[in-house]
Every structure is written in structure tokens, then in C-alpha cells.
């Protein structure tokens, strides 16, 4: 029996929820408030060093959004509703959620802040970009629509990956485009990395640069269904990912290569080599989570599973708390939203816990209402 036959079955053997993926997504969801509080409460020059750099550029870099998008791609193969039509519906729903979130985390708090302080530069000037710019939910929506197209065209896994690599290379070449108008840069930024002459970021997750991440997750999920020896599968694949990390990350971080360079564009306008490294980090981390699952208490795994299922709710709730607490409450109360590292991490931890509890309560209420409707 060759190695491939030892790892893969001809029949589906992994059709239920995968605890290692739930754990991976739960860890990232918990860390998001710490990452975003660090970005909001730390001066830009201090983000390049020490603990803020770790949360902004390492945990908030290849460890967070790539994992988030990769696991989304995997999850698309495990849902009961996996036709192109289903993906289109989910993509549109996520896109609408993204704009509704922008109203709740930007428009309403910033209007309130402006009415209280009259600070136009702080609250009103950035609103067009904040409201219309391409964030991760908008990108996730576009990614689902493109995966729906790939599936509808019945492209092979290899073809999908090759197309995305080509898109990534093209996106890398086109990074930093400027059409000369803010709105033009904002909407072109959905596709490629745009930037005006002043260096303002207009596109956080351009499609060409980032599509390779969720599509790789989709392909990974397709193969995971047929894995009969997860131990061997993760042992080989994740060790390769970890080896890439061990070799690349010390030099990348030390010399500030690519996504570890100064400025948000270095990460959000992900170049091809950094996309591949981010995939290595992701696969390596999932293998570590798989190895950890047997040693973790079931209650903790159940909590991770619920966080994973409530990912969109926790994501939206935490963002509203982060923006209101930092840009409105702290800024108006103290005249600045800057905090010490310890205070920033404490705030982020509190927001993560509260967001998870609210999402849990929301789920409990929905279940209770369904039971009531069935009586």
C-alpha cells in the first residue's frame, strides 16, 4: 500500500464537524478583540515593536485573517447546503451583513462622536472609506461568489488553485494602483490593492491578492472528507507548513519582509509569497490544534465549537464594542484613545468574553423560540 492509499479513502469518512477546525477558528475569534484594540489604542510608530507588533503584525497578520478565510473555505465543503446557488445566497447575505456592520461600528458611533465633540477630522472625514471600503466580510462575500462560479463551471481543484495563483501574481504586480479619486480607489480596491499619493489604504482585502486563501481552504476541505488517517495527513502536511514557518518567519520578521513591513498595505495588499507563507502558517497551526484536541477537556471543546458556529455574530459584536469603547468613550473621556499595552490587552480580553457571552445568549434565545414554535 502506497502513502496515498494509507492517507485517503475512496469513500467519504469525515462528514461531521472537525474539532481541530472549530478550535482554530475559536482561538482566532477570541484574539480578534485583542488585535483590533491594539491597532486602535496604539500609536502607529509603536506598532512596529514589542507586544503591539506581535498582536498587529504576527497574530494579526498571517495567524488571523488567513486562518479565518481558510477555515471558511473548508466549512463550505462541510455545509449541507453546498450548491453554487447556496454559495451565492450565503455570499450575498455575508455582504449585506458587512455593510450593516459598518453602519453599527462606524456610521452611528462616529455621528454620535461628531455631535458631541464637533471633531470633523476625527469622525466625519474618514466615514466614506470606513463605510464603503473593502473589509473582510465584503471580501468573504466576493470569495463565496467566485467559488460558486468555479463550482458551477466544474473546475478541478488544481484548476481553481492555478487560477488563484495567477490572480495573486497579477494582484501583486498591480498593488498600489491609484485612479486619482477616493471613490474610484475605494471600489477598485475590492479587486486590487489601491493606494493614493498620500499612502492611504483604500483596500484591506483585495480579491486578486486574497482569493487564494479561501479557495485553498475549499480544496483542503474537499480532500479532508476522504482522509482516513488524520494523524498521518496532518503529520505530513502540517510538519511541512511548520518547517516553512521555522525557516521563513525569523527572517521575515527580523528583516521586515513583505507583510511584516511597516504600514498597513504590507499586509492587506498580500503578495504571492506572503500568501503562500500564510497558508503554511495556517496548515501548520491546524495540525497543532489537531494534536491538542485529545488532551483538552470536552467542555472547552464544546465552547470552542459554539464560538465557531457563532463566528459571524461574535465578529460583529466585538467590532461594535471595540469602535465604541475606543473611538467614542475613551476619545471623548480622555481626549485620546491611546492606552498602555496592559490596559489594551485587558480591554480586548473583556470585549472578547462579553462578545462570546452575548452570542451565546443570542443562540439560547433562538433555540428557545424554535422550541416554542414547535409546541
373: pLDDT strictly greater than 80:
no
When pLDDT is averaged across residues 297-316 and rounded to a whole number, the result is: 94
| pLDDT tier, 201 (very low <50, low <70, confident <90, very high otherwise) | confident
Question: Residue 2's pLDDT is what?
Answer: 75
Over residues 212-266, the pLDDT tens digits come to: 999 999 999 999 999 988 999 999 999 999 999 999 999 999 999 999 988 777 8
Q: CB 374: neighbour CB atoms within 10 A? A: 6
Whether the Cβ atoms of residue 213 and residue 275 lie closer than 8 Å to each other? yes
Q: Per-residue pLDDT averaged across 305-333, rounded?
A: 96
pTM attached to this predicted model: 0.94
Residue-wise burial string across 51-70, b where 16 or more C-beta atoms lie within 10 A, e elsewhere:
ebbbbbbbbbbbbbbbbbbb
Q: How confident is the model at residue 13 (pLDDT cuts 50, 70, 90)?
A: confident
Q: How confident is the model at residue 17 (pLDDT cuts 50, 70, 90)?
A: confident
As a whole number, mean pLDDT of residues 18-43 equals: 95
Confidence of residue 366 (pLDDT cuts 50, 70, 90): confident
The answer to whether residue 363 scores a pLDDT higher than 90 is no
Whether 14 has a pLDDT exceeding 90, the answer reads: no
Rounded mean pLDDT of the chain? 93
Is residue 144 predicted with pLDDT exceeding 70? yes
Residue 53: per-residue pLDDT: 94
For 151-191, write each residue's pLDDT tens digit: 999 999 999 999 999 999 999 999 999 988 888 999 999 99
* Predicted local confidence at residue 199, as pLDDT: 72
Burial class (CB within 10 angstroms; exposed 0-12, middle 13-18, buried 19+) of 312:
middle
Torsion of CA 98, 101, 107, 112, to 10 degrees: -170
Domain extent listing, the chain: 3-374
Distance (Å) of CA 74 to CA 20, 77, 177, 236: 12, 6, 32, 19
Residue 374: is its pLDDT beyond 60? no
Within 8 A by CB and 6+ apart from 200, the residues are 129
Written as nine digits, the cell of 365 is: 434565545
**How confident is the model over 79-95, as pLDDT tens digits?**
888 899 999 999 999 99
Helices 311-323 and 298-309 cross at an angle (nearest 10°) of 80
Amino acid at each position: 500500500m502506497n502513502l496515498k492509499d494509507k492517507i485517503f479513502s475512496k469513500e467519504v469518512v469525515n462528514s461531521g464537524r472537525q474539532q481541530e477546525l472549530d478550535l482554530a477558528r475559536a482561538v482566532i475569534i477570541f484574539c480578534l478583540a485583542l488585535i483590533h484594540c491594539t491597532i486602535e489604542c496604539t500609536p502607529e510608530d509603536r506598532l512596529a515593536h514589542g507586544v503591539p507588533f506581535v498582536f498587529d503584525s504576527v497574530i494579526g497578520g498571517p495567524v488571523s485573517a488567513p486562518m479565518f478565510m481558510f477555515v471558511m473555505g473548508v466549512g463550505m465543503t462541510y455545509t449541507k447546503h453546498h450548491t453554487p446557488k447556496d454559495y451565492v445566497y450565503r455570499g450575498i447575505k455575508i455582504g449585506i451583513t458587512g455593510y450593516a456592520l459598518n453602519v453599527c461600528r462606524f456610521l452611528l458611533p462616529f455621528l454620535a462622536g461628531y455631535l458631541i465633540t464637533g471633531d470633523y477630522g476625527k469622525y466625519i472625514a474618514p466615514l466614506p472609506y470606513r463605510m464603503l471600503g473593502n473589509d473582510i466580510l465584503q471580501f468573504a462575500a466576493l470569495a463565496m461568489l467566485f467559488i460558486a462560479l468555479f463550482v458551477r463551471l466544474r473546475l478541478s481543484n488544481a484548476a481553481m488553485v492555478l487560477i488563484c495563483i495567477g490572480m495573486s501574481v497579477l494582484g501583486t504586480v498591480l498593488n498600489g494602483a491609484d485612479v486619482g479619486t477616493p471613490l474610484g480607489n475605494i471600489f477598485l480596491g475590492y479587486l486590487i490593492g489601491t493606494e493614493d499619493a498620500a499612502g492611504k489604504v483604500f483596500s484591506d482585502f483585495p480579491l486578486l491578492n486574497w482569493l487564494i486563501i479561501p479557495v485553498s481552504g475549499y480544496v483542503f476541505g474537499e480532500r479532508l472528507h476522504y482522509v482516513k488517517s488524520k494523524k498521518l495527513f496532518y503529520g505530513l502536511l502540517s510538519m511541512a507548513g511548520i518547517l516553512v514557518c521555522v525557516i521563513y518567519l525569523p527572517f521575515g520578521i527580523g528583516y521586515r519582509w513583505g507583510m511584516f513591513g511597516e504600514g498597513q498595505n504590507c499586509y492587506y495588499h498580500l503578495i504571492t509569497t506572503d500568501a503562500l507563507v500564510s497558508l503554511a502558517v495556517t496548515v501548520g497551526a491546524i495540525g497543532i490544534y489537531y494534536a491538542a484536541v485529545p488532551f483538552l477537556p470536552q467542555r472547552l471543546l464544546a465552547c470552542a465549537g459554539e464560538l465557531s458556529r457563532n463566528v459571524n455574530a461574535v465578529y460583529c459584536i466585538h467590532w461594535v464594542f471595540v469602535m465604541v469603547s475606543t473611538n467614542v468613550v475613551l476619545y471623548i473621556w480622555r481626549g485620546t484613545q491611546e492606552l498602555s499595552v496592559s490596559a489594551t490587552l485587558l480591554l480586548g480580553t473583556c470585549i472578547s468574553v462579553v462578545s462570546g457571552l452575548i452570542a451565546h445568549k443570542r443562540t439560547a434565545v433562538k433555540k428557545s423560540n424554535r422550541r416554542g414554535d414547535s409546541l
